[in-house]
């Protein structure tokens, strides 16, 4: 699967406590979280093998962190992918509590 001309769509499914990424209307990845008050704990991120390395995971996590910032949430990155993303993108380090 190529992501060359395709747009990655991300949404927050609050009922299932997960951000979902889709590509051409097909599921491409999820970032699972637990929400408690003003804290969001990212526990697990999975990207479909067919689209790994094409920016799906980064787009997904960036959207989730931007959403957390908008909601003034403290982020706890238990998921290794989210933790690594934050370490590589200092503009998000202020969210971590």
pTM: 0.91
Q: Which residues pair with 77 in a beta bridge?
A: 42
Q: Does residue 61 sit within a domain?
A: yes
Domain that holds residue 31: 8-91
Beta-carbon contacts of residue 23 (< 8 Å; ≥ 6 apart): 1, 3, 6, 7, 8, 9, 51, 56
For residue 2, the model assigns a pLDDT of 38
The total number of structural domains that make up the chain:
1
Q: Does residue 28 sit within a domain?
A: yes
Report the chain's mean pLDDT, rounded to a whole number.
93
Residue 9 has pLDDT above 50, yes or no: yes
Q: Does residue 83 sit within a domain?
A: yes
Q: Does residue 81 sit within a domain?
A: yes
Residue 56 has pLDDT above 50, yes or no: yes
Give the length of the chain: 97
> What is d(CA 91, CA 31) in angstroms, rounded to the nearest whole number?
19
Q: Does residue 97 sit within a domain?
A: no
For residue 54, the model assigns a pLDDT of 86
> What digits encode the pLDDT tens for the residues 23-42?
988 999 999 999 999 999 99
For residue 25, the model assigns a pLDDT of 86
Q: In what order do the strands lie in the sheet with 74-77?
A: 8-13, 18-23, 26-36, 39-47, 74-77
Q: Does residue 43 sit within a domain?
A: yes
**Residue whose entry in the numeric block shows the structure tokens 């990212």:** 42
Element (H, E) at 56: helix 56-70
Output the domain CATH number for residue 61.
3.40.630.30
For residue 72, the model assigns a pLDDT of 98
SS3 state of residue 17: coil
pLDDT band at 87 (very low <50, low <70, confident <90, very high): very high
């Amino acid at each position: 699967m190529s992501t060359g001309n395709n747009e990655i769509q991300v949404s927050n499914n609050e009922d299932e406590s997960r951000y979902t990424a889709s590509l051409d209307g097909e599921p491409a990845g999820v970032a699972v979280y637990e929400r408690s008050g003003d804290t969001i704990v990212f526990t697990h991120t999975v990207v479909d093998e067919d689209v790994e390395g094409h920016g799906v995971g980064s787009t997904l996590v960036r959207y989730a962190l931007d959403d957390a910032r908008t909601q003034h949430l403290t982020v706890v990155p238990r998921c290794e992918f989210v933790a690594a993303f934050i370490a590589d993108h200092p503009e998000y380090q202020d969210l971590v509590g």
